[in-house]
Amino acid sequence: MINNELYDRLLRNKGISVPGHKHTTIPRTGESGSFSLSPAQRGIWFLQQLHPGSAAFNNSAVLKIEGNLDTDCMRAALRSLLERHELLNVNYRLHQGEPFACPHAGDLAFEVVGAEGGGKAASSEWLHAEITRIAGSQIDLEHDPLISFTLLQVSEQEHIWIIRMHHIVADGWSKGILLRDFTHLYEAELNRTAPDLQPLTIQYRDYVRWLESRREETAYARDMAFWLDKLEGAPPMLDIPADFKRPSSMSGLGGMESFRIEPDVYERIGSFCRKERLSVFHFLLTVFKTLLFRYCAEEDLLVGTPVAGRTRTEVEPLIGMFVNTVVVRTQPRDDLSFIDYARSVQEEALLAFDHQDLPFDLLVERLNPDRERSVQPVFQTMFQLDNLEIPVMEAQGLCLSAVPLDIGIAQNDLSVSCWEDDGALRGTFEFSSDLFTRATMRRMIGHFIRLAVAALDDPQETLGRLNLLEASEEKMILRSWNETEQPVPEHGFIRWIERRAAQTPEKCAVLEGEHTLSYRGLNQWANRLAAQLMEKSLHGETPVIVCLPSSGRFVAAALAVSKAGGAVVPVDPAMPRERIQQMVEELGDVYALSDAVHSELLSLPPERVILLEEQIPVFGEQDERGPDNGLSPQALAFIIFTSGSTGVPKGVLLERRSIDNLVHSFLSSYQATDLDRLLPITSVASASFIGESLPILAAGGTLVLPDTETVLHPGKLRAYMEQHHITILSTVPSMIRSLNSDGGTSSLLRLILSGGETLLPTHVDRLRGMDIANGYGLSESGVCSTYKLLKPGQDGEQAVSASLGRPVANQQVYVLDSHLRPVPIGVKGQICISGHGLARGYLNRRDLTEAAFVPHPFRQGERLLLTGDTGYLLPGGELAFIGRSDRQVQIRGYRIELSEVERHLCTFPEVEEAAVHPQPDFEGNLRLIAYYTVRSQASIIGQQLAHWLESRIPSYMKPATYIQLERIPYNANGKLEVSALPQPGESLARNGAAYEQPQTAAEKTIAKVWEEILQLRHFGVEDNFFDLGGHSLLLAKVHDRLSREFPVPLTLVDLFKYPTVRSLAGYLSEGSRDSLGTDIYETAAKQKNAFLRYRKKAPSVAVRSTIEKEE
């Protein structure tokens, strides 16, 4: 038995008046005419104004009437119903800026419509269309009747009754009152007697007046204080993983998916709740909140739940908007058991119910959140139990029963309603179709039910480990979508390239500028260098640095190391000397292949270095045959250095089987042949260079390496590609955008391999007749792990910008939670990779290796790479990329550890503290902004810090702008307060005294051009173009403008050599230039990487076959 006190509390928690509970009565005013709105009505009115064309606030009902219906009596009964309930016969109009309820001047809106179509099957389609059209049509609050009745005649003994009404005049409870009153009034009309209804003691206007009088009461103030405290610091929005991006304004369109929990499971729920002293409502709300937690990984959840709001007996028989909403705020945790969380939910829900009398809309007014048209304030999800369905009723031989109604609207992002039905639990998930598809809702319903069963099976299990997926779904995600096994041809990539040299010896293997290197010459050169390495007693897996610019010499040297059994360590000579030295020290016992100019960067003993000539040497018969080492697939092939969180670069160890699979998957994915010519625009030290150069050589095609000036100038690059019949281009979307806007690419180009940032349809709309490879991979995963071929003009925007495709041959890709368990489709998690492509680990870093490469949870004896990247699976099994889960970011295609840049900044003697954060520039591309504080009162200008970093980190890791602050803003949790950081333009404006204005005519002309192209006003004549956010493609615009302003011949390289207004003005004014022989290696990083500063921009989606930790 349930005691009276508990019974009373349960009723109050539902918002229902308690019998015998003493209250001050609500007085009847007896007034007529206009009257004010209740807070709940004001909230609905306001939202309807935000979305004037939306039917989201229709609160319609549909009933089936079986029996001999008298339509005249029905019409008379409905007129009496409107007379009884004043609120049903009003409109809402503004008066002096305030909305008021005003009497509706029109007559009863009642229409009888005859059925169309001959038989039952035909009428069923017609009925569904009519119900949806009528119940879902928009209601004008100012002019339309706010309740209207339509009767569809199916047959003489069957009618469908559509009650279209607005939520502002009736809540869910009101539907039952309306039906009860109607049956009494209909029977009275039919029998010509007085209706068996008690007169109403008050009208809705009296309730509104009473609410207004309560604002001065102590209880009101107490409830307001409670909610303000409870909701302090609450997150403004719950970002549920959605199928579509949230629009700027929600349409109010939606859908509804139904579910049923069978009686045996529902009985288990009841037994469990009785045992644990929980209500079924609290159990189901906990399940729903656990579902949201697992979907969103949000540890602060706000869910709304309605209460009837009828705590006074006077309002029980009234039709009106009485329902109120309370918010249940809880903090789920991954390690919290379900039963402990359920008790927390119960406690918070009871607290919320104890303070339910405060109208939610008054609370919203007091909170005054930002009113976003796309986000409901305070909460975006709702849950309710005991949804008050219209009961089956009888009246004079008529049977009235509810018809399920889905008119395609939704008031919230997601609302779940449950009710008991014949021993089972039925319910609906109502969702916004602006965000979700029905397929997603059906999956979510399955997960909701699966979570409920899992909680019953083991209530002590933690929230993060409760089983979410059905066995069939888990099998599809883990196995079916990862069935990628393919045989890899024997002998490996070296033998494949040697075979090409034997088959087509005179074919061009490498085109360097305008100079060709044949397959025979390449193979002979590699054989000669391999022999020289072996003369130095090179043992297996000895690291050998190849420190050469992008050239045929570099390719020959890399092949030579592989032939000799060593491990290739590619080093770009444009790297800072200090970084190169760190790599040499990390390698230890190392040899090198270089030339006389670049070998000085390595500081190795002469006996450890083999020097290459500038020109192709003359080969002899002894160079025809290479060494036959018979190395195993597990032998080390490459060591690729990437950015390290300690400030020291870390070496990724790639084995031969990884390279073999890379080459095989490239050839099978992109169908590369000996007719292809591939032009890569990337650093020779990058994993992507390996992933492009080796496959094209294995295919018998040509690797094309243009000079720097050609790469820097889009027009020259396009002409070069046309002249040399380039069929495959490897670059990033920023370069693609430039080629697209400037009129397209080479006519023979069939494939673009692109990586590093978002790719949208507008970026490729003029690039017809070619494919674009959209993919994902890391150095640690073997460069390329997924890919998707897109055809501009044929693929939709979602496909172009989101999908990274399916796994390549012999690789598996998963999206897992923190427990390495698969997450549902569409839910974000960590991207994890396994298969033949995995690296061995990190050089000399066992700790990092063990942290990143873990035992495979699904494949016995294999390893799994934890990438640290966040992504999700699309419904077809394709991968979508979100971003880094730690502080490693991607700028212009490069992975950058922000903490590494910060550490180097803090080594500057006068810098006390530094923070680096990515910010979009005026074109929307990410760049790094450095914020710093100083130890003394002296000011440090950005040029000093840029110069300090010049020799310590690569160009692409350098911040675009440096901003000095009095202090670095942090929040209460010790995290960087991003919103408090000033924008670069703000800082430059404040520090106006720190820069020098242009003086001469030349300086003013140059500064004016910079100002227009950089969209930046505050800079000085000594500020560096690149530190101000400039990049090579913007520099091309500067070049075009200045070439018309000055008679002196000007090249792009000149602009790199003179990157400030003052230095460039001096050069142009004097009309002199340095000799071509001048060594400009001090600015080589900028010259070589300036193009990369633009073309490798910030991603929201990783594109092409590699996203690397460094290039």
Contact 50, 250 (CB under 8 A): no
Contacts with 520 (C-beta within 8 Å, 6 or more apart), sequence order: 501, 505, 506
Pair (192, 139) in one structural domain: yes
Cα(306)–Cα(1024) distance, rounded to whole angstroms?
60
Task: Taking residues 1077-1105, report their average pLDDT.
Answer: 31
The residues facing 460 across adjacent strands are: none
Of the residues 959, 994, 1029, the one at which a domain ends: 994
| Angle (CA) 613 616 619, round 5° | 110
Helices (H) and strands (E) in the chain, counts: 33, 40
Pair (298, 372) in one structural domain: yes
User: Residue 489 has what pLDDT?
Assistant: 86
Token output for 404:
């399920």
Share of the chain above pLDDT 70, in %: 84
Any idea what DSSP says for residue 305? E
User: Residue 352 has what pLDDT?
Assistant: 95
| pLDDT tens by residue, 614-659 | 778 888 888 888 887 778 899 999 999 987 656 678 999 999 999 9
Of the residues 962, 994, 1026, the one at which a domain ends: 994
Token output for 1095:
């073309």
Confidence of residue 1104 (pLDDT cuts 50, 70, 90): very low
Any idea what DSSP says for residue 538? P
| Angle (CA) 283 284 289, round 5° | 100
Structure pTM?
Answer: 0.76
Pair (382, 448) in one structural domain: yes
Contact 776, 755 (CB under 8 A): no
Task: Taking residues 838-847, report their average pLDDT.
Answer: 96
Token output for 545:
């640095």
Contact 341, 330 (CB under 8 A): yes
Cα(146)–Cα(18) distance, rounded to whole angstroms?
31
- For residue 996, pLDDT over 50 is answered with yes
Pair (553, 452) in one structural domain: no
Chain-centre distance for alpha carbon 1021: 40
Contacts with 446 (C-beta within 8 Å, 6 or more apart), sequence order: 470, 473
Kindly state whether residue 875 falls inside one of the protein's structural domains. Answer: no
Contact 496, 489 (CB under 8 A): yes
Pair (946, 1053) in one structural domain: no
Q: Range of 910's domain?
A: 894-994
Contacts with 743 (C-beta within 8 Å, 6 or more apart), sequence order: 718, 766
Least confident window among 137-141, 302-306, 893-897: 893-897
| pLDDT tens by residue, 84-105 | 999 999 999 988 768 899 999 8
User: Residue 734 has what pLDDT?
Assistant: 57
Of 451, 459, 465, nearest to 278 by C-alpha is 459
Pair (276, 171) in one structural domain: no
Kindly state whether residue 622 falls inside one of the protein's structural domains. Answer: yes
| SS3 of residue 657 by DSSP | helix
Of 139, 135, 154, nearest to 60 by C-alpha is 135
Token output for 457:
């099976």
Pair (430, 562) in one structural domain: no
Contacts with 235 (C-beta within 8 Å, 6 or more apart), sequence order: 298, 300, 302
In terms of pLDDT, which residue wins out, 381 or 980?
Answer: 381
3-state DSSP of 436-471: CCHHHHHHHHHHHHHHHHHHHHCCCCECCCCCCCCH
Token output for 740:
């697209």
Kindly state whether residue 386 falls inside one of the protein's structural domains. Answer: yes
Least confident window among 478-492, 537-551, 788-802, 1017-1031: 788-802
| Angle (CA) 136 142 146, round 5° | 45
The residues facing 326 across adjacent strands are: 305
- For residue 1029, pLDDT over 80 is answered with no
CATH number at residue 1040: 1.10.1200.10
Token output for 745:
């690419």
Strand order in the sheet with 324-330: 254-261, 424-432, 414-421, 381-385, 301-307, 324-330
Cα(916)–Cα(932) distance, rounded to whole angstroms?
9
Pair (74, 164) in one structural domain: yes
Least confident window among 30-34, 873-877, 936-940: 936-940
Kindly state whether residue 872 falls inside one of the protein's structural domains. Answer: no
- For residue 1085, pLDDT over 80 is answered with no
Of 193, 199, 816, nearest to 464 by C-alpha is 816
User: Residue 461 has what pLDDT?
Assistant: 97
Pair (302, 362) in one structural domain: yes
The residues facing 512 across adjacent strands are: 515, 705
Token output for 884:
């880094």
Kindly state whether residue 571 falls inside one of the protein's structural domains. Answer: yes
Kindly state whether residue 744 falls inside one of the protein's structural domains. Answer: no
Amino acid at 301: L
Half-sphere exposure of 713 (CA within 13 A, CB side): 18
User: Residue 3 has what pLDDT?
Assistant: 44
Contacts 24+ apart (CB under 8 A), 612-616: 612/529, 612/548, 612/553, 612/556, 612/557, 616/517, 616/521, 616/525, 616/552
Of 690, 653, 686, 688, nearest to 849 by C-alpha is 653
Pair (298, 392) in one structural domain: yes
Pair (947, 1044) in one structural domain: no
User: Residue 547 has what pLDDT?
Assistant: 97
- For residue 354, pLDDT over 50 is answered with yes
Question: Which of 403-412, 448-457, 1065-1074 tops mean pLDDT?
Answer: 448-457
Task: Taking residues 428-456, report their average pLDDT.
Answer: 96
Strand order in the sheet with 786-790: 515-518, 508-512, 702-705, 677-680, 728-731, 751-754, 771-776, 786-790, 806-807
Cα(290)–Cα(419) distance, rounded to whole angstroms?
20
CATH number at residue 45: 3.30.559.10
| pLDDT tens by residue, 712-742 | 887 888 899 999 999 999 987 657 766 776 6
Per the rule left: phi > 0, alpha: psi between -120 and 50, beta: everything else, 795 is beta
User: Residue 1108 has what pLDDT?
Assistant: 31
CATH number at residue 367: 3.30.559.30
Of the residues 631, 654, 671, the one at which a domain ends: 631
Chain-centre distance for alpha carbon 1092: 25
- For residue 884, pLDDT over 90 is answered with no
- For residue 879, pLDDT over 70 is answered with yes
Kindly state whether residue 676 falls inside one of the protein's structural domains. Answer: no
CATH number at residue 960: 3.30.300.30
* pLDDT, the chain, mean: 84
Contacts 24+ apart (CB under 8 A), 266-274: 266/420, 266/423, 266/424, 266/425, 267/423, 268/456, 269/425, 269/452, 269/456, 272/456, 272/459
Contact 243, 413 (CB under 8 A): no
User: Residue 162 has what pLDDT?
Assistant: 94
| Angle (CA) 624 630 631, round 5° | 120
Confidence of residue 987 (pLDDT cuts 50, 70, 90): very low
The residues facing 158 across adjacent strands are: 66, 155
Contact 971, 977 (CB under 8 A): yes
Pair (309, 453) in one structural domain: yes
Share of the chain above pLDDT 90, in %: 52
| pLDDT tens by residue, 754-801 | 865 556 565 676 777 888 888 889 999 999 999 988 877 665 444 345
User: Residue 1072 has what pLDDT?
Assistant: 42
Task: Taking residues 890-904, report their average pLDDT.
Answer: 70
Cα(561)–Cα(659) distance, rounded to whole angstroms?
14
- For residue 326, pLDDT over 90 is answered with yes
Kindly state whether residue 500 falls inside one of the protein's structural domains. Answer: no
| pLDDT tens by residue, 492-537 | 999 999 999 999 999 999 999 999 999 999 999 999 999 999 998 8
| pLDDT tens by residue, 253-277 | 899 999 999 999 999 999 999 999 9
Task: Taking residues 822-843, report their average pLDDT.
Answer: 96
- Domains held by the chain: number: 5
